[in-house]
Amino acid sequence: MAKFFIERPIFAIVLSIVITLVGLISAFNLPIAQYPQITPPQVSVSGNYTGANAEVVEQTMAQLIELQVNGTEDMVSMQSTSSDSGSYSLTAKFDLSKNADMATVQTQNRVAQANASLPAEVTTAGVTTRKVSPDNSLIFSLWSPKGSYDSTFLKNYGSIYLIEELKRIKGVGNIMEYGADYGMRIWLQPDKMAQLGLTGSDISTAIATQNVQAPAGTIGQRPSSAQQEFQYTARVQGRLTEPKEFENIIISSKGSQD
């Protein structure tokens, strides 16, 4: 066999070129796993109970959710954290052979069974279930060179202009944000509330009813008279944006009788 190719060098060269080309074409078209799965799939369940401490979160959220999530198919272990800020986080680890998408769906179905028993404030804010990776590919931070912007502004800027763009990059699974979100915080005076006979629920209800984005309707819309020639869209003030507007919210009113 060797003598055959030695006596015919041109044929040997052409055959070598053909084999090389076939190998290159196959290398670019065959599916090859560059980074095999070496860490077990993980699913994160998170929620927030505004105003609750860690003990209340553990009793009203953690116990109910973990009771349902425990026993999910191929789950190996789970770990949860309840904080005094009202946040709750649960991380469930699954067997290495488990498909991460299927694990997320099964965990989400278990969490849905606990939604009926959770407080209304928690279900209104939403309980999020998603697959996560224990490894961080990149960590970056935003900063103001001259200190003209504070951390709250930078966090809000990143959430609006950067996070959504980065999530659309191919291969990016999830992005975690750190920092306080921009919001209007209302501080209460317990002594004045006690004098007026008010509770936190009264103030929360007043804010919710007077800080709404309500449709105003249309003026001149059908059915209307034949003389009606114009149609106008009414515009009213929507959600409150300035501190002064929140200060004018009426918490309670009592009429006087003569």
* 155 within a domain of the structure (yes/no): yes
Residue 93 lies in a domain: yes
Is residue 3 domain-resident? no
Question: Which region holds residue 165: left if phi is over 0, alpha if psi is between -120 and 50, else beta?
Answer: alpha
- pLDDT of res. 234: 78
Q: Which two tokens stand for residue 102?
A: 């299927």
Task: Write out pLDDT tens, residues 51-60.
Answer: 788 999 999 9
- Least reliable range by pLDDT among 25-39, 89-103, 134-148: 25-39
Do 100 and 122 share a domain, yes or no? yes
CA–CA separation, 163 vs 174, rounded Å?
A: 10
| Residue ranges in 214-255 assigned as alpha helix (H) | 243-247
**Contact in structure between 113 and 68 (CB atoms under 8 Å):** yes
Tally the domains of the chain. 3
Q: Kindly report which listed range (161-165, 205-209, 225-229) carries the lowest average pLDDT score.
A: 225-229
Q: Can you give the residue range of the structural domain that contains 196?
A: 185-212
* Among candidate residues 101, 135, 169, the one where a domain is terminated: 135
Mean pLDDT of 85-106: 90
Is 119 in the same domain as 140? no
Residues with Cβ within 8 Å of residue 217, at least 6 apart in sequence? 234
What is the structure's pLDDT at 75?
A: 92
What is the structure's pLDDT at 32?
60
The percentage of residues in the chain with a pLDDT greater than 90, rounded to a whole number, is 24
Task: Give 144-188 pLDDT, tens digit per residue.
Answer: 888 888 888 888 888 888 888 888 888 776 787 887 777 778 888
Residue 95 within a domain: yes
**Is residue 34 situated within a structural domain?**
no
Task: Specify whether 69 is located in the same domain as 105.
Answer: yes
What are the tokens at 187?
């501080």
- Which pTM was predicted? 0.60
pLDDT above 90 for 36: no
Map 4-32 to HEC letters: HHHHCHHHHHHHHHHHHHHHHHHHHHCCC
Three-state DSSP class for 130? strand
Instruction: Specify if 170 maps to a domain.
Output: yes
Q: Does residue 205 share a domain with residue 162?
A: no
* CA dist., res. 206 & res. 201, Å (int): 9
Same domain for 91 and 144, yes or no, is no
Q: Is residue 238 part of a domain?
A: no
CATH code, domain with 113:
3.30.70.1430
Both 154 and 125 in a single domain? no
Instruction: Calculate mean pLDDT across residues 6-17.
Output: 87
- Indicate if 158 and 176 belong to the same structural domain: yes
82 & 149 share domain: no
Residue 31: pLDDT over 90: no
Indicate whether 143 and 120 sit together in one domain.
Answer: no
Cβ atoms < 10 Å from Cβ of 67: 13
What is the pLDDT, as a whole number, of residue 94? 93
Structural contact between residues 94 and 103, judged by C-beta atoms closer than 8 angstroms: yes
241, pLDDT greater than 90: no
The single-letter code of the amino acid at 207 is: I
